[in-house]
Copies of this chain bind each other. A is one copy, B any other.
Amino acid sequence: MTASGGRDSDTGRIETFSDGVFAIAITLLIIEIGVPHVAGTESLFDKLVQLWPSYLGYAISFLVIGTVWANHHNRFRLISRSDHILLFLNVVFLMCVAFIPFPTALLAEYIREEKYRITAVAVYSGTLAVTAVFFTALWLYAAADYRLLDRTVDPLLLRAMTRRYVFGMLLYILAFALAFLSPTASLALIVILALIFVLPEPEGSRGARRSRRRSVRG
A residues neighboring B (CB under 8 Å): 1-9, 13, 16-17, 19-33, 35, 38, 43-45, 48, 58-59, 62-63, 66-67, 69-70, 73, 84, 87-88, 91, 94-95, 98-99, 101-102, 105-106, 109-110, 116, 119-120, 123, 198-200, 202
Contacts and interface: CB of A to CB of B under 8 A. Distances in A.
A-B residue pairs, 9 tightest by C-beta: A20-B23, A24-B27, A66-B91, A4-B4, A84-B199, A44-B119, A44-B116, A62-B95, A35-B105
A17 B23 contact: yes
A200 B84 contact: yes
A95 B59 contact: yes
Contacts of A99: 30, 58
Copy number in the complex reads 4
B17 A87 contact: no
Contacts of A13: 19, 73
Interface residues of A: mostly helix, strand, loop or mixed?
A: helix
Contacts of A33: 102
Contact of A3 (B5, B20, B84, B94): B5
A7 B69 CA distance: 17
A84 B17 CA distance: 24
B98 A70 contact: no
A198 B23 CA distance: 23
Nearest to A65: B91
Given A87-B200, A91-B198, A62 B98 contact: yes
A27 B98 contact: yes
Contacts of A91: 62-63, 66-67, 198
A7 to B, nearest CB: 6
A123 B60 CA distance: 21
Nearest to A67: B91
